[in-house]
Amino acid sequence: MHSLIGPNGAGKTTVVNLVSGFDRPDAGSIELFGEAIAGRSVVSIARRGLARTFQTPQLFEELSVLDNVLVGAAGPRLGWLAAALAGTGGDGPAVRARAHEALEAVGLTEWADTLSADLPFGHRRRLEIARALAAGTRVLMLDEPAAGLAPAEVETLDALLSRLRAAGLTVVLIEHHVALVMAVSDRVTVLDEGRVIADGSPADVQRDPAVLAAYLGTPA
């Protein structure tokens, strides 16, 4: 669990966009499992095991919760989404099993038949994670998953992230909720104006004078 924190405009989402292929770097290198991926397409990177979520959940609003996850579970089977939207999509038992496992992992099993557009906001964030899990993701990048959540929903997210970490999934967390970051992270990197100003354990980062000055604040 590697968290990326910093003030607004520090460059956190830019990092996610570069790593996941939404933006192309002008220079430098990016590697995923030892393979250079800088400049590759979003689809190419996703098929290598990296998925990301967005600050505003990006769901297929016209599909049910289960069908949203089935899109992820179906993976590269071209044409599945078009068939699903037309109401004629078929899926094998293995695909459906992966989708149900992902829903159970994020606690949305009882919402499976609900239209995704009707989900509460916190559930929408969990649905994005379920879809990524169903796709067999090995690295999951979460862009401010706690934004807009009530305290009880943040606690649910905390528990979910801890379970994912315990299961061996690599998670890159971009988040302003400092208490959440410090509770779940193994490593924290702090950005300010596009530069890394600190990197280390949560305890070390919290004591770093540069981080206190730029982001966390100093005691009165």
Residue 148 lies in a domain: yes
Per-10-residue mean pLDDT for the chain, 220 residues long?
Answer: 92 93 94 94 91 89 92 68 53 80 94 94 92 91 91 92 92 92 94 92 90 70
Q: Cα(first)–Cα(last) distance of the chain, in Å? A: 31
* Residue 123 DSSP one-character state: H
The number of distinct structural domains making up the chain is 1
Instruction: Provide DSSP, 88-119.
Output: -----HHHHHHHHHHHHHHT-GGGTTSBGGGS
Query: Which amino acid is residue 113, in one-letter code?
Result: D
Contacts 24+ apart (CB under 8 A), 119-122: 119/59, 119/65, 121/57, 121/148, 121/149, 122/149, 122/150, 122/153, 122/156, 122/157
Query: Which amino acid is residue 159, in one-letter code?
Result: A
Nearest to 106 by CA among 76, 72, 148: 72
Yes or no: say if 184 and 142 are a contact pair by the CB < 8 Å rule: no
CATH number at residue 195: 3.40.50.300
Output the CA–CA distances (angstroms, integers) from residue 112 to 23, 82, 86, 99, in the order listed. 33, 20, 19, 10
Yes or no: say if 1 and 165 are a contact pair by the CB < 8 Å rule: yes
Residue 95 lies in a domain: no
- pLDDT value for 214: 74
Residue 55 lies in a domain: yes
Residue 181 lies in a domain: yes
Residue 31 lies in a domain: yes
Yes or no: say if 69 and 99 are a contact pair by the CB < 8 Å rule: yes
Residue 96 lies in a domain: no
Residue 102 lies in a domain: no
- pLDDT value for 82: 59
- pLDDT value for 89: 52
CA angle (188 as vertex; 42, 33 as ends), nearest 5:
40
* pTM of the predicted protein model: 0.85
- pLDDT value for 56: 85
- pLDDT value for 57: 86
CA-CA distance, 106 to 102, in Å (whole number)? Answer: 7
Q: By residue range, what is the domain housing residue 12? A: 2-60+122-216
CA-CA distance, 144 to 125, in Å (whole number)? Answer: 10
Residue 159 lies in a domain: yes
